[in-house]
Structure 1
Amino acid sequence: MATDWQRVGQQKRETINSLLPPQWKLAEPVPDADSLPNATKLPRSLLTEREIEITETHTAQQLAQKLADRTYTATEVTRAFCHRATIAHQLVNCLSEVLFDSALKRAGELDSYIATYRKPVGPLHGLPISLKDQFRIEGAETSVGYVGWLGKPETAETESEIVRMLIKSGAVVHAKTNVPTGLMAIETNNNIVGYTWNAFNRHLSSGGSSGGEASLIAMKGSLIGLGTDIGASIRLPASANGLYGLKPSSGRLPYKGVANTMEGQNIVESVVGPIAHRPSDLQLMMETLLSSKPWERDPCVLPLPWREIEQVEIGRRARTSGLCFGVMRWDGMVMPHPPILQAIDKIVTRLRENGHEVVEWMPPSHAEAFEILFQVFTADGGAEIHKTLALSNEPPVPQVAMSYGTEPGSLPTTSITEYWALQLRKRSFQERYASYWQSTASTTSSGRVVDAVIMPVAPSASVKPGQGRYFGYTGVANVLDYSAVTIPVGMVNKESDFSVEWRGHVPVSDMDREIWESFDPGDFHGAPVAIQLLGRRLEEEKLLAIAQEFERWLL
């Protein structure tokens, strides 16, 4: 017999399903993962040529221009992406809120405006935008994966500041996307929507916590969207789904009015950032949001406009004297799988072929950053998560129970003096890391410090359900408050000749052994592979300029 939390979750799933237009639903039975492991190609067989053109042939930046010059109407563009999002949800289970009706109404208003005034509302005029289920939108629910938070639609007063900014810029918000319960897992699963799958290999995870967002974008049910990141949550899903994802430093984009877990914790802060198919689209989102001067409405945002001069300088040096990169193939804790190591070697080779310098990166131990981050995440002993679960009496999903236990009291709590000491430990790590970065000037041929660091996003391309454990490669950037971006490199190919010396890795811990031995070329076939580019604090412009150079080098 179903309990109340199960009924509420089922009702929400039924509501989501009822809001998907019947004419766009797949014929039953929907293809399963065995018959259709890669879901990304199916939509083409169900869309019109015009819909395929709209959703597949343009970057977000190009599509925004075609909306501005009236090549397309906002209504037809919104309808095309709603159609594709409907297909995506049935295959990868990525939506938490279906906002198609309000999106089409908004699109109609935008079409009327541009017909009357002969100019777009703003730089995102008519562009469909998807948002992770932390962003509060008037009239929609914000559950953050908790059953107990359902049933409370947002109002105009509670709407997130960044949503207001998007709407003012002309964007059309057509969907919100699935997250793990309380955001605290690197797989996306909860008791409401359920598990979100990888778009390219539906036997694998979409990553977390912005897993629904990344899967939807990978399916081209959206070209660009926003996630958040406190340990991996933009970069890991972007990597798993073959996308670019930017984690800015704290204070760069507004967090005002964004729902969160562990609110008030500020040793390591969660940040808002974009996910897209191209680095130029990440830049479009950053430039648009910063052009509205968010620091005037959110006091936690730094008064720092987009600095084009930083990008011009990187472009100039990339084409003349060359750039210098550090490379870290593994962090000494968990050895990456062979496809990740191959991707890094490919990148290093291409960089050197293009006249850039690459040096080995040997910073303060990343193990310390992982320890700091996990202590931050569990400082209250999991009390908040279990208290919020208790609102509906729902149990934690396995991905959350892995860290916080199945019952309250599974973890020790941190005293205020221990919390202060943790803050000091983080500061010390930041200082030592900054000192090491500065010291690289003595190791490079140019006498300049390293411009950015190439490293894994994760030890594996994705994970099988229940196996998402390690976020050390991404978490270090959060502890340092550094900027970071993911860059897709290729796909796992089961036919590849994986090197014998990599198979011979001697694990340094039980976790290292478990993750290393989990690799099977057949199981991971078709999963995207990416690398992470790490910059210093507030170097978003620099990283996106380098990411655009990487696009050219990898062609």
Structure 2
Amino acid sequence: MTVEIQSWQSIAKRKQAALEELLPATYRLESVPSPEDQPNVVGYIRQFLSPAELEITEKFSAEALLTRITTGALSATEVAKAFCHRATMAHQLVNCLSEVLFPQALARANELDEYLRTHGEPIGPLHGLPITLKDQFRVEGAETSLGYVAWLGKVETEQSESWVVKALKDMGAVIIAKTNVPTSLMAIETNNNIVGYTTNPYNRCLSSGGSSGGEAALLALRGSILGLGSDVGASIRVPASVTGIVGLKPSHGRLPYLRVANSMEGHETVPSVIGPMAHNISDLRWLTQKVLECSPWMADPKVICLPWQHEMEKVVQKKKMTKRLTFGVLRQDGVVRPHPPIARAINQTVLALEAAGYEVIEFSPPPHSEAFQILWNTFAADGGIDIHRTLEQSGEPPVAQLAVSYGAHLGHLPVGSVNDLWATQQQRYDYQVRYLEYWNSTAKNTRTCLPVDAIIAPVAPTASYKPCEGMYFGYTGVYNVLDFSTVAVPVTQVDAAIDGPVEGYTPVSDLDSAIWQQYIPEMFHDMPVGIQVVCRRLEEEKVLAIAEEVQACLKSSPAK
């Protein structure tokens, strides 16, 4: 018997066709404009939706929408249909979906509506709420590829489903889709040989970031109200920042990673974490609380038994009332200088905080270049063996965004030894100690005589980038090395009229020079610009509360 060996191209093409077939014909755009003709599609997409669909997908927070569903003002079915419609158009415009789960979602929504009619109460605290997930979350009945052609063909079962996905379903959530990722997840641009490149809704000639780029792009186009991403170096915060949404990178051990797929499984020098992505900080807080209420530490031994810390929130609220919150501002990391709109966003935030009565001091910690080297040593510890062997299973080549780091073939990077790994782990611990010592030392410079409560820092040196030009994730990666709790917060948009290039800039390195030359004000005009609000390890409650206050100060401040 002859066994036909399929090419990776045919396998990928079949998957693309299956995705296309699952997009309802009545929801599709009759024609899709080119990125050059219609670069910004954030407002463009609205013309194809009914007033009722616009209200459902744009008016409410996740909590408010849930209230409308559970009180019967809206049915779970009509809410799911509205988001499926918008997600279909979003995918046609920016290529953001990896799994279309509309049939299952609508069937589940109908079941939930029937349950509410029959019992007069919701099935759980997320009854009927549509949620989307980054591709690496395993969902029963769907595939999980991580952008690898070799991983296609295996359908997840009830036993293989990610623990957090099952928890969301048990609470009544409706999973409508999974979203696109870069091959292996190890890139800050979202591209693979299956779905292709995910572009930015604000400028489809630019990137949506990575590796949660599909999730961020879908949320930015309101094809989702709430999602889950993951982050090991930048993957929630960079996509959130370049698409104008919010995202939480929690500390390791706070949220469950059980049965969430990953590349290089087993490496824990700098562990990946999962976190929520949304349109507002209150929804980040709400979803985090709901997951913690499921006691994930009872199932996942890596999760710390740490229920929601209400007292930590109360401390922040008290400091807000007395204007005793203090901030450190990191304007640049000494490796790559932020582009003008990023620098303006930082300055705007500082001025807004000071106008509200808060103290902001300059923050000059141990060199971030050390953290970036530690992170890269972690990512390259096996010389790319895991990634290349997975690629070899199907014969597919690495996409450019992966090859730039791991090479076109195995052998591009040296393979480290166990002793090398131990040395990296010790370097990380030493760096964490020195960083905390510095943070504590800021008490000498604050009016309260206490260390700063939070850091204000750039998310990235750029407001996105053209395909194959994403180069640097040091501003985010340092906080993975430190395992700090971090929230990405939108601040402003690029304004070509005021964010002109700095004349006579002297770069500090070749990398700095290359990234500085990428800045063309007109190309980035109107792109979202965000910042990071950073607190210490396992301070999710604190960082969310402070990030919300930062947003409030920005909203009320005349500083621009």
Please state which band the TM-score falls in when normalised by the shorter chain. over 0.9
Preserved contact between residue 38 and residue 526 of structure 1 (Cα < 8 Å): no
Range moving further from structure 2, 159-168 or 317-326: 317-326
Range moving further from structure 2, 185-194 or 417-426: 417-426
Which structure 2 residues correspond to residues 194-273 of structure 1 after superposition, within 5 A? 194-273=196-275
Preserved contact between residue 324 and residue 448 of structure 2 (Cα < 8 Å): no
Alignment match of 2:444 (pick from 426, 434, 442): 442
The equivalent of 1:26 in structure 2 is 29
What is the alpha-carbon root mean square deviation over aligned residues?
1.1
Q: Does 1:4 align with 2:7?
A: yes
Q: Displacement, 1:88?
A: 0.1
Which structure 2 residues correspond to residues 392-471 of structure 1 after superposition, within 5 A? 392-471=394-473
Preserved contact between residue 340 and residue 499 of structure 2 (Cα < 8 Å): no
Which structure 2 residues correspond to residues 434-513 of structure 1 after superposition, within 5 A? 434-498=436-500, 502-513=502-513
Alignment match of 1:46 (pick from 41, 44, 48): 48
Q: Displacement, 1:308?
A: 1.8
The equivalent of 1:546 in structure 2 is 546
- Partner SS, residue 488 of structure 2: strand
Q: Does 1:515 align with 2:515?
A: yes
Q: Displacement, 1:71?
A: 1.1
The AA in structure 1 aligned to 2:21 is S
The AA in structure 2 aligned to 1:156 is E
Q: Distance in 1 between matches of 2:546 and 2:282?
A: 11
Q: Displacement, 1:43?
A: 2.3
The equivalent of 1:35 in structure 2 is 37
Q: Distance in 1 between matches of 2:473 and 2:37?
A: 31
Q: Distance in 1 between matches of 2:44 and 2:165?
A: 31
Q: Distance in 2 between matches of 1:518 and 1:42?
A: 27
Alignment: residue pair count: 551
The equivalent of 1:311 in structure 2 is 313
Q: Distance in 1 between matches of 2:370 and 2:405?
A: 18
Which structure 2 residues correspond to residues 336-347 of structure 1 after superposition, within 5 A? 336-347=338-349
- Partner SS, residue 531 of structure 1: strand
Q: Displacement, 1:554?
A: 1.6
Q: Distance in 2 between matches of 1:531 and 1:195?
A: 25
- Partner SS, residue 498 of structure 2: coil
Preserved contact between residue 125 and residue 171 of structure 2 (Cα < 8 Å): yes
Alignment match of 2:16 (pick from 13, 17, 21): 13
**Alignment gaps of 5+ in structure 1:** none
Q: Distance in 2 between matches of 1:469 and 1:358?
A: 30
The AA in structure 2 aligned to 1:320 is T
The equivalent of 1:171 in structure 2 is 173
Q: Displacement, 1:125?
A: 1.0
The equivalent of 2:558 in structure 1 is none
CA change 1:480–1:53 in 2 (3 A) is same
The equivalent of 1:351 in structure 2 is 353
- Partner SS, residue 206 of structure 2: coil
- Partner SS, residue 203 of structure 1: strand
Preserved contact between residue 343 and residue 530 of structure 1 (Cα < 8 Å): yes
Q: Give me the TM-score of the superposition, normalised by structure 2.
A: 0.97
Q: Distance in 1 between matches of 2:407 and 2:6?
A: 21
Q: Displacement, 1:497?
A: 4.9
- Partner SS, residue 326 of structure 1: strand
Alignment match of 2:385 (pick from 362, 376, 383): 383
The percent identity for this pair of structures is: 54
Q: Does 1:282 align with 2:281?
A: no
Q: Distance in 2 between matches of 1:263 and 1:468?
A: 25
Q: Displacement, 1:413?
A: 0.9
Deviations 1:386-405 (A, max 9, x none): 00000110000000000000
Q: Displacement, 1:188?
A: 0.2
Alignment match of 1:188 (pick from 163, 179, 190): 190
The equivalent of 1:528 in structure 2 is 528
The AA in structure 2 aligned to 1:458 is A
Range moving further from structure 2, 110-119 or 528-537: 110-119
Q: Displacement, 1:3?
A: 7.6
Deviations 1:345-402 (A, max 9, x none): 0000000000000000010100000000001000100011100000110000000000
The AA in structure 1 aligned to 2:443 is A
**Alignment gaps of 5+ in structure 2:** 556-560
Q: Distance in 2 between matches of 1:505 and 1:265?
A: 40
